[in-house]
Amino acid sequence: MAPNAEQVKYATRAEMERAVEMIRHTIGEDTVSIEDEIIRAHGYSEWSTINIDRLPVAVVFPSSTEQVSQIAKICHEYRVPMIPYSGASSVEGHFSAPFGGVSVDFCNMNKVLEVYAEDMNIVVQPSVSWMDLNDQIKHTNLFFPIDPGPSAQIGGMIGTNCSGTNAVRYGTMKDWVVNLTVVLSDGTVLKTRRRPRKSSAGYNLNALFVDSEGTLGLVTEATLKLATIPEENGVAVVTFPTIKKAASMATDVIRKSVTVGAVEILDDVLMSVINKMGATSRKWAGVPTLFFKFSGTKASVADSIQQVKQIAERHGADDFQYESDPIKQKALWSARKEALWSMLALRESDGHVWSTDVAVPLSRVAELIDQSKEDLQGLGLFVSVLGHIGDGNFHETIIFEDMDRQKVEDCVHKMVHRALDMNGTCTGEHGIGIGKKDYLLKEVGSVPIEVMRAIKGSLDPKWLMNPGKIFDFA
């Protein structure tokens, strides 16, 4: 049963400050900060589509599960909201503090604890970044394939069930979690499972905590699966006269079950921006372009490339370039890698970025991208389209100034509603945070939200864990 407004009553600012003093006293002087700059950095994000005026009253920096539990016990007693914070790359106001409270920054919990190479899994703390993780385990010939924003860390990646370019081959974060250690809002510590690669034992609590955006508990440890580094890699770039043709070709590749490591779509705007900014050593055609990655054995990669080439020809591709040499592959993939940064480099000093994503069934994605591009014409907005098209997931990135905010909101609103009308989702990978709560309600309806509220209410009856995200308590 979800609590009512009477039961959810947060501490006053003075009471929150007393709780912070208690945390300082309990876990140590230098584990708490009330410096303005640090507090602001934990309640505001330049990546976020939404920012609010209120900030946390303090930031706490625990070093162990035990300390996280102590913090939670104190916050629970004083009714202080807790907002988990890892790499801070989420984009929908996920770690903002609409009710004040404390930001729990895991930066001191950034260690790889155990590597079980033979079992192909690893135990990590929440502030390990996926990029560092891959550097640290290179020698094992294994890697962790989930690749969201470059600064993302495991705690936040679990929080948003993130994915990235590799998802078409390897799935999303939820597929790589073996078990989690979680501290609940009253300080209780639980471990969801042991360490087998699969289990049917009881409710799937991993699935409950993954994608809960820190609203159910604080993840303090995770056991993750690893994949073997493929023997052979390849990169291909295919250009098309229209974005619709590019999108149709990409979805055809998936429908024909050709094994690809990634398939990404970049529109003409983005390709032209990359040229304009001189972001790569190549000059690109400035037209809609698909970027493919291939990985596997030599034979399987050769076979996949051949199939993709034939499908590209059938869909009227203008050009097909392929590289197997690792250095040349990097050059060919460089435009995909530099895309967002090139776009951001064009931002004026007072400009903002709005990066939003939706996902639809494969058969509808070409139409959705095409219609969304049409909607943008004549609006005078600077927008590009980039997508993990193999999963029916794409992003619009809009660079704008304050005076155009309403136009941008209208444009995003239209794109999300189109996606929902196509039986899609308001977010394929970024999550709900504050920014997409209304869309979630439209997407799933009120009954599933009531079920989510009841689950949260039973684990967090005082509604202290990252309140105001995903859905409200009433």
Which residues of this protein are in contact with ligand FAD, per CB under 6 A?
Answer: 47, 83-91, 94-95, 106, 126, 148-149, 152-153, 155-157, 159-160, 162-164, 213-214, 218-219, 340, 429-430, 466, 469
- Taking the least distance from each CB to ligand FAD, the nearer of 218 and 265 is 218
Query: Where does residue 51 rank: exposed (0-12), middle (13-18), buried (19+ CB within 10 A)?
Result: middle
CB of residue 143 to ligand FAD, shortest distance in Å: 17
- Taking the least distance from each CB to ligand FAD, the nearer of 210 and 301 is 210
| Whole-number Å distance between alpha carbons of 86 and 6 | 31
- Closest C-alpha to 366, from 284, 265, 261: 265
CB of residue 427 to ligand FAD, shortest distance in Å: 9
- Taking the least distance from each CB to ligand FAD, the nearer of 305 and 365 is 365
- Which residue number has the CB closest to ligand FAD? 156
| Whole-number Å distance between alpha carbons of 272 and 283 | 9
- Taking the least distance from each CB to ligand FAD, the nearer of 84 and 296 is 84
- Closest C-alpha to 158, from 96, 199, 106, 235: 106
Task: Count other C-beta atoms under 10 Å from residue 458's C-beta.
Answer: 12
- Taking the least distance from each CB to ligand FAD, the nearer of 304 and 393 is 393
Phi-psi region of 179 (alpha: psi -120 to 50; beta: other; left: phi over 0): beta
- Taking the least distance from each CB to ligand FAD, the nearer of 312 and 398 is 398
CB of residue 389 to ligand FAD, shortest distance in Å: 13
CB of residue 415 to ligand FAD, shortest distance in Å: 17
CB of residue 173 to ligand FAD, shortest distance in Å: 7
- Taking the least distance from each CB to ligand FAD, the nearer of 148 and 261 is 148
Question: Is the separation of the CB atoms in 227 and 184 below 8 Å?
Answer: no
- Taking the least distance from each CB to ligand FAD, the nearer of 45 and 322 is 45
CB of residue 177 to ligand FAD, shortest distance in Å: 12
CB of residue 465 to ligand FAD, shortest distance in Å: 8
CB of residue 189 to ligand FAD, shortest distance in Å: 13
- Taking the least distance from each CB to ligand FAD, the nearer of 179 and 466 is 466
CB of residue 158 to ligand FAD, shortest distance in Å: 6
- Taking the least distance from each CB to ligand FAD, the nearer of 217 and 296 is 217
CB of residue 163 to ligand FAD, shortest distance in Å: 5
